[in-house]
Amino acid sequence: MSGNHPYRRAGATIVAGTVVWFVGISPVSRVYITPDNAERLRMLTAGQRGWIAGQHLTAVGTVAVPVGFAAFARALPGKDASRRTAGKWALAAAGALLAGAPLFVSSLARRAADLEGFAYRRGSNAPFLAYSGLHVVALAALGGSLLSLPTQRWIGLTAAASAPLYGAILVAKKDIPPFVFYAVEGLVGAYLMMWEDPDAKAS
């Protein structure tokens, strides 16, 4: 904890993980929106070093974000029923993200090792879909946690409302750009860095 901002370290971990994640997906970023498979392979081959390095950075960010939310859950005081509820929701969010991280990291490893397979969209999409579904669960739980606390309601509603929205997109499209998850989670992390919880015991 840090003075009047008891969740600053947890929030900073979330924000740092989010930034690293976004940096990681930046090399050869046009490949994600390029429909032609042969062109995708050409782009990946031309930017192979940056692409492989980016997958490693993205993996670091994927792991760091749930660690930050686990730290937030641990830091929450259990002084009353609402606080205990918030802690349980936060722990559920961290658990869902931690469960999803290995699924995406394994996908990143395949992307780095098999450029042609990624370019031509080969292999099962099940790990990515499971990872995305767990993110939807995490956002819903995160919204429940924030709405149980004396935070400004907009931050809790943002997390809570994003869950059904992203879930509907995922079900309809069988795909979703994962940066949308990290945009919300990074926003929550930034909020936690600045939030002065009046009931938390700073140490």
Q: Give per-residue pLDDT as tens, 12-64.
A: 999 999 999 999 999 999 999 999 999 999 999 999 999 999 999 999 999 99
Q: Which two tokens stand for residue 17?
A: 């993980």
Residue pointed to by tokens 């947890």: 10
Mean pLDDT of 111-121: 96
Q: How far apart are CA 183 and CA 191, in angstroms?
A: 12
Q: Give per-residue pLDDT as tens, 117-129.
A: 999 999 899 999 9
Greatest Cα-to-Cα distance within the chain, rounded to the nearest angstrom: 59
Is residue 62 a contact partner of residue 108, using CB atoms and an 8 Å limit? yes
Cβ count within 10 A of residue 162: 22
Mean pLDDT of 165-185: 96
pLDDT at 202 over 80: no
Q: Given this model, what pLDDT does residue 5 score?
A: 85
Among 7-11, 82-86, 133-137, the least confident range: 82-86
The fraction of the chain above a pLDDT of 90, given in percent, is 89
Is residue 68 a contact partner of residue 10, using CB atoms and an 8 Å limit? yes
| Mean pLDDT, the chain, integer | 94
Is residue 53 a contact partner of residue 23, using CB atoms and an 8 Å limit? no
